[in-house]
Every structure is written in structure tokens, then in C-alpha cells.
Amino acid sequence: MKYLRLKKQADFQKLFQKGKRAFSPSLTVLYRPAEKMRMGISIGKKHGKSVKRNKIKRLIREAFRLTQEEMKGTYSIVIIPKIREEYSFYTFQKHLQCIIKKEKL
């Protein structure tokens, strides 16, 4: 299943205000039912310089792409990584799978 990217500030604000939150050791996920699957990533400058932030975004996008097949419905999702020393694809993927199972997405 292909997903669309959240790009508009208004879409992010709706999820921050009205979306449900799910937590894991390395991620916070905001979600809300929607007509189409859409995903956005919110990452602050505390994570490092732009090269590091872009690497984190790429890892999260790939982890989401592989785990979205497990979702039963369609949602608008914002993924927020927590500040860590090191980031890995496998931890993002594992924590996304845990959130999907726990929240029954």
C-alpha cells in the first residue's frame, strides 16, 4: 500500500491538537483515522544538524513503509523520534510494530 506524505502545517496542527498519542522508547506517534494513509515526520533541531536529521527521517520512512502493511485501517500519522545517542532502522521498525499491535491500528 502506498502512502501520501503530510506536508501542510495545518495537517500537522490537526494531529497535534486532536490526534491520539502512542509512545515507545524511541518514538511518539500521533494518529487519527483518515480517508487515505498519510504520514509525516516531525523532528526538531535538538536531534543534530541537517545531515543527521535527514538520516533519521530516511530510517523512519523506511521502517514505516515496511510496517504499514500490518495496519488494518487508514490513518493520518505523525511520527516524532525521541532524542538518542544512536538511531537504528531496526529499533524504529520494532517500536513501530509494537505501537501498531498495542494500539490496534
Q: Measured on CA atoms in the order 1, 10, 54, 23, is the torsion positive or negative? A: negative
Q: In whole angstroms, what separates CA 20 from the centre of its chain?
A: 13
37 within 8 A of 74, measured Cβ to Cβ? yes
Distant-in-sequence, close-in-space partners of 50: CB < 8 Å, separation ≥ 6: none
Domain extent for 45: 4-103
CATH number at residue 95: 3.30.230.10
As for how many domains the chain has, the answer is 1
The pLDDT tens digits of the residues spanning 69-90 come to 999 999 999 999 999 989 999 9
Confidence class of residue 24 from pLDDT cuts 50, 70 and 90?
Answer: very high
Integer-rounded Cα Rg, in Å, for the chain is: 13
SS3 67: helix
